Amino acid sequence: MDFQRQHHGKVFLLLLLIILSFLVGCSRGSSSPSEDPSDLSKMTEISSDVIIITAASGGFVTHDEATIEFPAAVLPADTLIKVSKVYVSESEQDESLIDLTGAYVISTTSSPQTIQLAGSATLKMKVNPAGLDETTIRIVVWDGYEWNEVRCEYDSTLKVISTTTETVMPYGTRIYLANPEVSSNKEREGGEQIVSEFVAVKVVGETQGGAAEENAVPVNVLRAGADTVAPGRAVYVKSPQGKFTVDYKQVKDPVQAAALQKKAEAVAGYMDNAYEQIIKGMGLKEPALGSGYGKSGTWTVSLTTMSGDHGSVDIETGEICLNIKDEIGDGLSHTCHHEFTHMIQFKTLKEAKNEVDDSLDWFNETMADAVGWYALYGRGTVYCAAGESMGYFDERLDADKKTPKSNNNQYEYKHFPFISYLLATYKEAPFKKFFETWYSYAGSQISMNTIDSAATREGSLGKAITGRDGIFWDFYRDYFISGTVFNREKFKNLPDRDSGKPYDIKEDEKEKQGVTIVEIGSNVSYQKEFTIQRLAGQVLILKYKGSSPLDITVKAISAPGQSAGHIQLNAFKRVGGILQPPGDVEEVSDGATKTKEYTGVGGDIHDIYLLMVNTSWKADDYKVTVVVTEKQ
């Protein structure tokens, strides 16, 4: 699925993008933010303690029920850390929840910028659970509109609940500043002083005999296992390698709960494989880890209900969302690999000081699909499994949702075989160089105008993609004619094609391949003008279907002034019903008329493929007229 781009016209919403990293799941629910900052809930500081924590030795700050602990070497410098007890106005919560602590804000008075830690700091809060169901105790974070549960651990012996964070925000962050990370201690009307509009934490629980008693479970000591979590609560599964945290909401039915846990564990394994194959194997850039309360330095993956989509990744928080209804198997695994590739693309753009909007939709999706299959099935062996997604080569390679003349709103996913071809032909290191070079160009320079310069850069593909004999032509001809890359050993959706033999297109496949099939028999008379868009092609297949061999004449007329067009006639014989390797090949020059006579069609020749490819990156509407008649 595409990146989730977020465009906001109101300044105050900028801060939402920062604090989303503190939330469990993929959205904040149904709450709608006010457009007037003065209407948002306010935080008033009640009391506080401030201590300087040295970077070398670390330390802790305690204020009332809250303690924040910093290990040695996690802070970038000696830092003043402040723990504030606050009052949060207009912060309603579920009536079944009871506050076990006050609300607290952890901040710094040393820096006007958010501090990124080298590891995790631990927030601990002491509670008195008397009269409460201890399985319901959890830490929640206020995001300005609602309280959200975060991953935490509860020690039922010490009566202490804890969570971790990898960031510390500046004290006094004000929502309506142009730069939301600039610190300010100014007062608003009424004398309220803003501590932090969003990052307040507290502990809540439910009474015994309340909503949780009906589904009573053992005391939740670690708040991580699905068997200890009440329905409606968040469940967290950490991947075997510890790099991903998969979360979902617990359900009441024990069979469904077990199935959800199994799915989360499968997703955790899929994500670990994505990391191993794409980061460690292919050497692509490692995305930034998640940060915020409960993140524990992992990438977050949430199983949630999605409308029509299989997955998405939030470009600001780096959180992946997967459709909770998708079943365990290759489809779900591919979505995991696909979305993780998007995170890598964003990391590459960000390092070059580019935005996601500077990138190209078609390349984002084709690369994510191709790399996803490549990593899923094993690098260097099987490159993709596409089924009905293979082809639509009559659509532009660089087509996206905004492309005019498109008749397929999913085409940015359809052309991933081109990226698979690059990986198969040029291997991982040159592809990596090509991708990272192209996506490191400045902003608007990431375009089709620069694709060849990236492809020909030293260490990259070593050949232009566009042009009459460029990589796009090589790809197109291999797919339909030569089959040295596209064959059943490498592509699961081409099970009937032997290496080195032409692709025998069936009647029911022709539409998705951009193919026109014409049956050839006695008295054949056929004429058609084909129009080909840039970096696209069409194939006319003349397929013998008669009672006795015949002679035909094929005339291909190339419109003048289209030097980027590449037209080629290929004639094949069938042995035992199987097309043989390429035989007779004829080229058609730009602006020329090529007349070719074929003798014994139905005997020595059975199929004639006319490839018409527009290899230009900028010129549409390349015209080719084809006339086929029986030779008299």
CATH number, domain with residue 549: 2.60.120.1050
Assigned domain for 403 exists: no
Model pLDDT, residue 124: 96
Tell me: do 65 and 201 sit in the same domain: yes
pLDDT at residue 531 in the model: 94
pLDDT at 176: 30
Across the beta sheet with 244-249, what order do the strands follow?
3-4, 311-314, 320-323, 299-304, 244-249, 234-238
| 21 and 79 housed in the same domain | no
Check if the beta carbon of residue 143 is closer than 8 Å to that of residue 112.
no
Q: How many domains does the chain have?
A: 3
User: How high is the pLDDT of residue 228?
Assistant: 61
Q: Rounded to whole angstroms, how far apart are CA atoms 239 and 486? A: 35
Query: For residue 193, what pLDDT band results from cuts at 50, 70 and 90?
Result: very low
Nearest to 102 by CA among 55, 24, 47, 158: 47
Q: What are phi and psi of 217, to 5 degrees?
A: -135, 165
Average confidence (pLDDT) over 273-297? 87
* Residue with the larger pLDDT of the pair 143 and 212: 143
- Which CATH number fits the domain that encloses residue 195? 2.60.220.30
Residue 190 contacts residue 149 (beta carbons within 8 Å): no
Pair 133, 80 in one domain: yes
Residue 421's nearest CA partner among 364, 477, 504, 500 is 477
**3-class DSSP state of 27:** coil
Q: What pTM was estimated for this model as a whole? A: 0.79
Same domain flag for 212 and 255: no
Same domain, 74 and 213: yes
Q: Indicate whether 454 belongs to any domain.
A: no
Give the pLDDT confidence score for residue 334 in this predicted structure: 94
The pLDDT of residue 221: 30
CA distance 616 to 341: 28
pLDDT grade, residue 223 (50/70/90)? very low
Give the pLDDT band of residue 52 (cuts 50, 70, 90): very high
| Sheet (strand 565-572) strand order | 515-520, 536-544, 607-614, 565-572, 584-588
Determine the Cα–Cα distance for residues 170 and 194; give it in Å rounded to an integer. Answer: 11
**Is residue 361 scored above 70 in pLDDT?**
yes
Of 197, 223, 249, the position where a domain reaches its end is 223
Q: What is the pLDDT of residue 209?
A: 58
Mean pLDDT score of the chain: 82
| pLDDT at residue 474 in the model | 97
Could you tell me if residue 479 is inside a domain? no
Shared domain check, 204 and 85: yes
Residues 271 and 142 in one domain: no
Output the six-digit token pair for 50. Answer: 């401030």
Which residue, 470, 482, 411, 479, is CA-closest to 615?
Answer: 470
The answer to whether position 430 is within a domain reads: no
Nearest in space to 340 (alpha carbons), one of 268, 401, 397: 268
- Has residue 441 been placed in a domain? no
- Give the per-residue pLDDT at 142: 83
Predicted confidence at residue 407, as pLDDT, reads 54
Mean pLDDT is lowest, of 13-17, 142-146, 191-195, 366-370, for: 13-17
Band (pLDDT 50/70/90 cuts) for residue 227 is low
Distance CA 61, CA 475 (A): 62
Say whether both 257 and 189 belong to one domain. no
Q: Which of the four pLDDT bands, split at 50, 70 and 90, describes residue 3?
A: low
In a domain, 543, yes or no: yes
3-state secondary structure of 117: strand
For the segment 610-631, the average pLDDT, to the nearest whole number, is 94
Instruction: Give the Cα separation of 560 and 105 in Å (integer).
Output: 71
Residue 188 included in any domain: yes
pLDDT exceeds 70 at position 88? yes
Report d(CA 265, CA 328) in Å as an integer: 10
Q: Among 332, 351, 370, where does a domain finish? A: 351
Q: Say whether both 49 and 97 belong to one domain.
A: yes
- Write out the residue range of the structural domain in which residue 310 sits: 1-34+238-351
**256 lies in the same domain as 332:** yes
Higher pLDDT, 360 or 30: 360
pLDDT in tens, 327-355: 999 999 999 999 999 999 999 999 999 99
Q: Where are the alpha helices (DSSP H) in 286-387?
A: 330-351, 361-377
User: Which tokens hold the place of 444?
Assistant: 């608007």
Residue 405 pLDDT class (50, 70, 90 cuts): low
Same domain, 187 and 308: no
Q: Are residues 15 and 67 in the same domain?
A: no
Per-residue pLDDT tens over the stretch 101-156 = 999 999 999 988 888 899 889 999 999 999 888 888 999 988 766 788 888 899 99
| More confident call, 518 vs 497 | 518
Question: CA 542, 546, 550, 553: dihedral to nearest 10 degrees?
Answer: -30
Query: Is 308 a member of any domain?
Result: yes
What pLDDT is attached to residue 192?
40
Last residue of a domain, one of 351, 375, 407: 351
